[in-house]
Structure 1
Amino acid sequence: ALDGNLTEALLSDLSQNEAFVAADLRIAPASPGKAERLRAIIGHKGATLYVNLEEAELISGKTGLSTARVGAEALLEAGARRVVVTHGAGAACDACVNETHEAEPPQVVAQRITGAGDTFMAAHIAAEIEGMSRPKALEFAQRTAAAYVAGDDNYV
């Protein structure tokens, strides 16, 4: 798992380094201000980008994206291999060239927001490690992040 605090040069080096050619890289930009750095690694065959809709706009260079699915499509057009795009209380989308899945989060009253993206990403990665299918892993991540946002300390 990588975050966007890495420099663009280092991300570019990672994308071309033989030691990382077959790596399963899970990458988050860390903040919208650092999202554009991910262009340096977007085409890595093992990279999965975890971004929100605003970050999808910044990385893809397209504006006015309305849903996570539209954001995912824009990133795939920009050269990404796999993306997981969130959109707050809206549906999230896990997409690659031949496969797209969407999952709505449970509707909750937000008690905290900071950390929701990290919680989502960690839950999604954990679900896939446990062998959940892509649709089930996305649903699990949505439920886990929603419970976190609702302030449920038993969200894991």
Structure 2
Amino acid sequence: MSASKEDRAARALDYFHQGYNCSQSVFAAFADVCGLTEETALKLSSPLGAGIGRMREVCGAFCGLSMLAGSLYGNSSPETGEKEKIFSLVQSLAASFKQEFGTLYCRELLGLSPERLAAETARPGERTAAYYASRPCERCIAFCARQAAALEARAQH
């Protein structure tokens, strides 16, 4: 029996509060669904956090959700029809995310100015109460974990 949406969201947020990035937090919460160990799920998703390599591009939580979608519904055939199915699913997930948050881009979710974005480095910020309070990452992670749980439930039927 699969965990509930709220259990999965809580698990994802727990990873985030332990210091894992947004992509790791979502994807590792579903490692069992993908047939992966926790360590493997954390490693595979690690480069996608903070908007892919902390470049503030596509939201890492959404990247983790997309990885789960691929694990459950992805194609292993080069056939165009198979590619279309997973692309359509990810586009639908992206539309839901954009409806909820207004954008898929980490830099826009964080409200980073061009100057602040230019000053970004690969070094992550220290995790403090102020860090968590100043950004929408927890909401994005919880949203993506709930969407992922819905994909998991759909795959089981």
Q: Structures share a fold, TM > 0.5? A: no
- Structure with higher helix content: 2
Give the number of the structure with larger relative contact order, counting CA–CA contacts within 8 Å between residues 6 or more apart: 2
Structure-2-length-normalised TM-score: 0.29
